[in-house]
Amino acid sequence: MTGAAGFIGARAGVALADAGHEVVAIDAMLAAAHGPDAELPADVRRVDVREAAALAPLLKGVDVVCHQAAVVGAGVDAADAPSYGSHNDFATSVLLAEMFAAGCQRLVLASSMVVYGQGGYECTEHGLIDPLPRTRADLDAGVFEHRCPICAQPVTWRLVDEDAPLRPRSLYAASKTAQEHYALAWAESTGGSVVALRYHNVYGPNMPRDTPYSGVAAIFRSELEAGDVPKVFEDGGQMRDFVHADDVAAANVAAVDASLAGFSAFNVCSGRPISILEVATELCEARGDVLPLVTGQYRSGDVRHIVADPARAAELLGFRAVVDPRDGLREFAYAPLRG
């Protein structure tokens, strides 16, 4: 397993070991992910996936690689592109080449919901549509929903399934999409098997705080711990799917245990949509703190809604999330954070 000391990787490694798998754990221990003073866990080897010579001997006798390692974040600054290209895409290409050389033909790839871009939408008159980008005039006026490209009326969100087109809208999203494309091409050229797990908004104990790896739930938590009020952008109505890290670990076990040919992608989600305002409110109420502040501010390029369809993972992997986000977030209100 790569990225084995990370927030998700550490949990997945434990779950795999508990399921009876022998795990060879590696991590580059990047400071951005673990902090500058983080110690290498005793059961993890410090290996950069980009270094073929260090990777090759560890793949001997390995049946399946669970590839969690990645640089994450929005990647809105073009200066971030080389880091994403190197750590996410070049590293994946090295891993796939060394897997081929070692005769390892199965990959479980940690992908992301970001590959879908702005999500799925429907117009009451024109059905499923690819909406117009939100204009600055609408956003300044507090009109946050996308509009139909035909009638210009606001549209509503719908569940995104794995057959949706991949339309990355950030450098990070582009790098995750490229990872999937490398893996797909590798599977087709070698006869290998790839299960790409498209994680949605992962949260849980030991989540990183105040780093590019922090999700909005951890940001809200950090604001509360600092005695501040969680600040919710737009009107708070942005819909997401929050999935607990324990469920993500279970999805990795299901993917490792699955017998699937070729390339398959699956949403890893709770299947219980929740708004960003609800997320902040659950945390505030659980801690007995003041309610969040809806600012009406916005960030250019933010996705309005992206909510996943869990059906394919349930059908083909037998994976169903157990933790309801409303319960999990209340527990997360006091859970320890990393960093």
Q: How far is CA 285 from CA 46, 132, 295, 332, in A?
A: 41, 36, 19, 12
| % pLDDT > 90, the chain | 88
pLDDT at 253: 98
Q: Is the pLDDT of residue 89 over 70?
A: yes
Q: Is the pLDDT of residue 75 over 80?
A: no
Mean pLDDT of 227-235: 95
pLDDT at 212: 62
pLDDT at 317: 98
User: 118: closest CA among 154, 78, 76, 160?
Assistant: 160
The overall average pLDDT reported for the chain is 94
Residue written as tokens 């000391």? 5
Q: Is the pLDDT of residue 74 over 70?
A: no
Mean pLDDT of 70-93: 89
Please write the tens of the pLDDT for every residue from 25-65. 999 999 888 888 889 999 999 999 999 999 999 999 999 99
Please write the tens of the pLDDT for every residue from 270-304. 999 999 999 999 999 999 988 999 999 998 878 99
Please write the tens of the pLDDT for every residue from 242-260. 999 999 999 999 999 999 9
Q: What is the pTM of this model?
A: 0.96
- CA dist 307 and 274 (Å) reads 9
Please write the tens of the pLDDT for every residue from 118-156. 999 999 999 999 998 899 999 999 999 999 999 999 999
| C-alpha atoms less than 13 angstroms from C-alpha of 42 in its C-beta half-sphere | 0
* Per-residue confidence band for 6, with pLDDT thresholds at 50, 70 and 90: very high
Contact present, 339 and 35 (Cβ < 8 Å): yes
